[in-house]
Amino acid sequence: MGITGRIHSLETFGTVDGPGVRYVIFLQGCALRCKYCHNPDSWSVTCGRTMDSEDLVDDMLSYSSFIQSGGVTISGGEPLLQPKFTKDIIERAKAAGLHTALDTAGSVPLNHSRDVLNSVDLVLLDIKSIDNHMCWSLTGRGNIETLATLDYLEKIHKPVWIRHVLVPDWTCNTDQLVRFADYLAPYTCVEQIELLPFHKMGEYKWRELGLHYSLLGTPPPTQEAIDTACAIIESRGLSVSLHRDKSGVSKKKIG
């Protein structure tokens, strides 16, 4: 028997959450309330389905012929809200020879997350905004824990891919992007910056859940704005890539 935790969904052929083809585990529960979240159904800590980490890894290994050159990514929700469950999955996957990645906003204090960060091979760290006040407005929480997480990852020389959503009138403007790039430039642990253009693919979920979607009138960023964002980041010597949301990928909804 392993450790039990709550799962939102599983993706058995993920191609955008770390290197190669990956088995992606979306855990249930998140303390942030991002205005652009496309999975608000993942927020509640009591929804989803309870699963055992041993059973979960057994299912993962049934796809080993596809993910052997990629690995497993634990995402959410916020996986660091279930640190023991997350760590056990990581350790079991690594024992089976799989590369492991953690997709997190780093918003959990280090005294709860440190063991997980130490165990995983790669961290996909989502910085919502480099400006603490904007982060509060966007997510309902500040960025202090996120930046402390980044500092710790630098200290232990853990490979990091930074993720950042480009939201018009919020994070997708020159001043914010310059601050963002200047802040990240000194970090040697940061291998690349993944920019995620804002989209409305999850807007219908807000309606179904009876939630107010405050970005209803916000358009996706223009190609010119995306190109400008890439240029600003590259001008600081940082590697940048564009993260495009997938469609038609095999995904198993749990619960």
Cis peptide before 77 (omega within 30 of 0): yes
Q: How high is the pLDDT of residue 245?
A: 56
pLDDT for residue 201: 84
Residue stretches of the chain with pLDDT short of 50: 246-255
Determine the Cα–Cα distance for residues 234 and 195; give it in Å rounded to an integer: 12
pTM over 0.85: yes
Contacts by 52-56, CB closer than 8 A, 24 or more apart: 52/1, 52/2, 52/3, 52/4, 53/2, 53/3, 53/4, 53/5, 53/85, 53/88, 53/89, 53/92, 54/1, 54/2, 54/92, 55/2, 56/2, 56/7, 56/25, 56/89
Q: How far apart, in whole angstroms, are the C-alpha atoms of residue 30 and residue 132?
A: 19
How far apart (Å, rounded) are the C-alpha atoms in residues 153 and 205? 34
Domain coordinates in residue numbering, the chain: 4-253
B/e letters for 150-185, b = 16+ CB within 10 Å, e = fewer, are: bebbeeeebebbbbbbbbbebbbbeebbeebbeebe
CATH code assigned to 4-253: 3.20.20.70
Structure tokens belonging to residue 181: 């790039």
